[in-house]
Amino acid sequence: MEIEGKTIIVTGGASGLGAATAKYLRARGAKIGIFDMSQGAGDALVKELGASNAMFCNVDVTDDEGVDAAVDAVVSKFGALHGCINCAGVVSPMKVIDRDGKAASLDTFRRTVDINLVGTFNVMSKAVQRMLLNEPENGEERGVVVNVSSGAAMEGQIGQPAYSSSKAGVMGLNLPAARELGAKGIRVNAIAPGLFGTPMVMSLPDNVIANLEASVEAPKRVGRMEEFAHCCAFLIENSYMNGETVRLDAATRLQAR
């Protein structure tokens, strides 16, 4: 699917990988709907991208009615919806059993799965509902979904039971959704990113960043955010990519700790 002239929602789009992707796609000629809960950052990004080219919706991805209204707002402003990139997510360090030998907080586990997995499904399904209204481009495509998983979905580390489970669930969405929606002209793929140089990571002390980069295989550095955004663009543009999870991690495989 061509990017230019299309409308694409990016969740978690006010910061980090989401913001980098929003900027990259806008530079390629897309209109951007930014879903996030950081009002100030979202407003600033809209100002940077231009109010005629982007809009911000302060929305919780787990909110059924809130997401529905936000997707409607994007369609109302830009006339249609063609893509959805689900970057919204949280990291919740925890163990199955804490240091005192007690069972972990169920609320923490549930919140992580709700945001990372349920929230992804919520936005995806409501976005797809609108994409089905599009005339197929080149007789094939009405829309594209890119969900964000993680290397932790395959090699979850100690302390990641909630995060790893939620991201493995995102991977599990791919094939059944791609099989269901492909015949309707909508492709579904995912990216499992490794260590990227988000503002949060790059704010760490130099020695901590050096230790993190030492765990990366090759190239031995953190990923550049534009490299993630480029992968999103590739999945949008390549019409034969469907039902896949792309590992974007410099061949890195996570160790137990």
Would you name the residues annotated as active-site residues?
Answer: 163
Nearest alpha carbon to residue 203 among 39, 44, 40, 15: 15
Nearest alpha carbon to residue 84 among 1, 196, 207: 1
What tokens does 29 get? Answer: 């000629």
CA distance 190 to 231: 10
| E strand or H helix at 232 | helix 225-237
Nearest alpha carbon to residue 5 among 53, 48, 44: 53
| E strand or H helix at 42 | helix 39-49
CA distance 192 to 249: 8
Instruction: Show Cβ contacts of residue 37 under 8 Å, excluding neighbours closer than 6 positions.
Output: 58, 59, 60
| E strand or H helix at 185 | none
Instruction: Return the exposure string of 112-146: e unless at least 16 CB atoms fall within 10 Å of the residue's CB, then b.
Output: bbbbbbbbbbbbbbbbbebbeebeeeeeebbbbbb
Residue 210 sits at the vertex; the CA angle it makes with 161 and 212, to the nearest 5 degrees, is: 15
What tokens does 155 get? Answer: 């090699």
* CB count in 10 Å sphere of residue 37: 14
